[in-house]
């Protein structure tokens, strides 16, 4: 996969287009065949030995990172380590020929932070409500035994049996009348009590089962302690990933900028120029749509990628450098920028990163005006200052 082969020291005082023109001329002079070119990258292949073409050719990509105060940082990525080493003197000579910003300008720019919109942070997680727990018994407190209904019924039957033994039978005396009537009366009472006990036993078990079910459900109703957690939003950091295995297709964004973020959607993992479906280099928040047909995705120097596409702007009528979702981060309308050096902007129909994603674009060093339509998917800019909606 693409690794960093070299980088130009300092900030090159050129616009992205001027820097890419210089890079294209140099690569052609060194025997490279120019391939894909975007606003911030240019890719080329080198014929080595008897090779005639294809994915196995040594290749590299010159990637630009436009800076907030003008100029670009240049890095070289690819798999042509041998070619870069063989031409090391030529690379150094070309690098030194590029105009650089003065050290004082870089120091002044370093005192200012990169303009990144305030992120709307999610509220802190709420502490789970404590499940009610009965208080522990106090020292010295008497605990009176509780008699269950079953114990009461058994005791009653024992008492009735004792009374039956005491009542005379067979001589017709007592309250029962002749022929053991008293014993028959006691037997009837005993049988009746047994029936009552049998009927009350299942009724006694039923409240216990209901009580156990209520105790299981109680934590779920109190403070949501037993509620299932909401699914976490998909996130991943820098590296190379298999789409559908390591990461799922979809639209991702970095919710903050980083100094030299480079990313690419991959057709395959051969490392050749043709393996790149789309790529970009930025210092501001980025958005990319990874399609199910993509083989992989590679990211270097970027902030965390997330499927959380909620707004990252503090307001929806003003924003700075970066990629934004129309209708989420900003409302459609006509905007004017505060100005900037080598300002580049584009209206987007999607976030796949290809040339077909661009509805319209512009490049200027002066304040400009652009109308973002409600049907636009997004808008992104670099080096343009701050955009503000016109009333």
Mean pLDDT of 312-340: 95
The pLDDT, as a whole number, for residue 214 is 52
Longest Cα–Cα distance of the chain, Å, equals 136
- Whether residue 250 is predicted with pLDDT greater than 50 in this model: the reply is yes
* pLDDT of amino acid 57: 79
What torsion do the CA atoms of 255, 257, 260, 264 make, to the nearest 10 degrees? 30
Task: Please tell me the predicted confidence (pLDDT) of residue 261.
Answer: 92
pLDDT band at 44; cut points 50, 70, 90 = confident
Give the mean model confidence (pLDDT) for residues 54-66.
Answer: 80
161 vs 243 pLDDT, higher one: 243
Query: For the structural domain made of 3-110, what CATH number should be given?
Result: 3.30.310.80
| Beta bridge partner(s), residue 137 | none
Q: Give the domain ranges of the chain.
A: 3-110, 152-210
**247 close to 292: Cβ distance less than 8 angstroms:** no
Tell me which range, 71-75, 217-221, 303-307, is most confidently predicted by mean pLDDT. Answer: 303-307
Let me know how long the chain is: 391
pTM of the model: 0.58
Residue 306: φ, ψ to 5°: -145, 155
Q: What is the pLDDT of residue 363?
A: 87
Q: How high is the pLDDT of residue 140?
A: 45
pLDDT digit string, tens, across residues 173-202 = 444 444 444 445 445 445 555 554 455 554
Average pLDDT score, the chain: 76
Calpha distance 352→362 (Å, rounded):
19
Q: What average pLDDT does this structure show over 130-145?
A: 45
pLDDT of 104 reads 55
Report, as an integer, the average pLDDT of 76-100.
Answer: 89
Confidence of residue 115 (pLDDT cuts 50, 70, 90): very low
Share of the chain above pLDDT 70, in %: 64
Question: Which two tokens mark 266?
Answer: 């991959």
At 259 the pLDDT is 85
* pLDDT at 122 > cutoff 80: no
Can you give the pLDDT at residue 37?
Answer: 84
Position 42 pLDDT exceeds 50: yes
Q: 90-99, 133-142, 202-211, 238-247: which range is least confident on average?
A: 133-142
The 10s digit of each residue's pLDDT in 261-317 is 999 999 999 887 888 999 998 999 999 999 999 999 999 999 999 999 999 999 999
Strands 305-306 and 333-337: what pairing?
A: unpaired
- pLDDT higher than threshold 60 for residue 138: no
Mean pLDDT of 23-47: 85
Query: What local confidence, expressed as pLDDT, does residue 172 receive?
Result: 44
pLDDT, average across residues 331-348: 92
What count of other Cβ atoms lies within 10 Å of the Cβ of residue 190? 15
What average pLDDT does the segment 351-366 reach? 91
The DSSP bridge pattern shows strands 261-266 and 235-236 to be unpaired
């Amino acid at each position: 996969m693409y690794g960093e082969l070299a980088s130009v020291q300092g900030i090159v005082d050129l616009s992205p287009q001027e820097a890419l023109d210089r890079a294209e001329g140099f690569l052609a002079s060194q025997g490279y065949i120019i391939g894909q070119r975007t606003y911030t990258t240019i890719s080329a292949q080198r014929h080595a030995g008897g090779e005639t073409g294809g994915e196995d050719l040594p290749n590299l990509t010159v990637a630009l990172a436009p800076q907030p105060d003008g100029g670009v940082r240049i890095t070289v990525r690819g798999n042509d380590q041998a070619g870069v080493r063989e031409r090391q003197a030529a690379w150094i000579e070309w690098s030194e020929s590029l105009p650089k910003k003065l050290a004082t300008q870089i120091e002044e720019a370093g005192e200012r932070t990169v303009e990144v919109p305030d992120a709307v942070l999610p509220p802190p997680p709420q502490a789970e409500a404590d499940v009610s727990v009965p208080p522990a018994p106090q020292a010295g407190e008497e605990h009176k035994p509780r008699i269950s209904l079953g114990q009461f019924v058994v005791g009653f039957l024992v008492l009735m049996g004792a009374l039956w033994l005491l009542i005379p039978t067979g001589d017709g005396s007592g309250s029962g009348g002749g022929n053991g009537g008293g014993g028959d009366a006691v037997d009837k009472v005993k049988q009746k009590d047994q029936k009552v006990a049998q009927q009350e036993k299942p009724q006694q078990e039923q409240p216990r089962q209901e009580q156990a079910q209520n105790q299981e459900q109680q934590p779920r109703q109190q403070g949501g302690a037993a509620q299932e957690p909401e699914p976490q939003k998909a996130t991943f950091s820098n590296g190379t990933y298999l789409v559908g295995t390591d990461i799922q297709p979809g639209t991702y964004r970095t919710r903050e900028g980083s100094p030299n973020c480079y990313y690419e959607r991959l057709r395959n993992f051969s490392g050749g120029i043709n393996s790149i479906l789309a790529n970009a280099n930025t210092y501001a928040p980025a958005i990319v749509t990874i399609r199910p047909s993509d083989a992989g995705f590679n990211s270097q120097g970027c902030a965390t990628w997330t499927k959380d596409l909620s707004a990252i702007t503090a307001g929806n009528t003003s924003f700075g450098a970066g990629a934004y979702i129309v209708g989420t981060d900003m409302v459609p309308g006509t905007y004017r920028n505060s100005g900037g050096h080598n300002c580049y902007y584009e209206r987007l129909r999607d976030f796949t990163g290809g040339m077909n994603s661009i509805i319209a674009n512009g490049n200027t060093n002066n304040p400009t005006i652009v109308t973002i339509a409600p049907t636009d998917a997004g808008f992104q800019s670099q080096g343009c200052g701050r955009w503000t909606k016109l009333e």
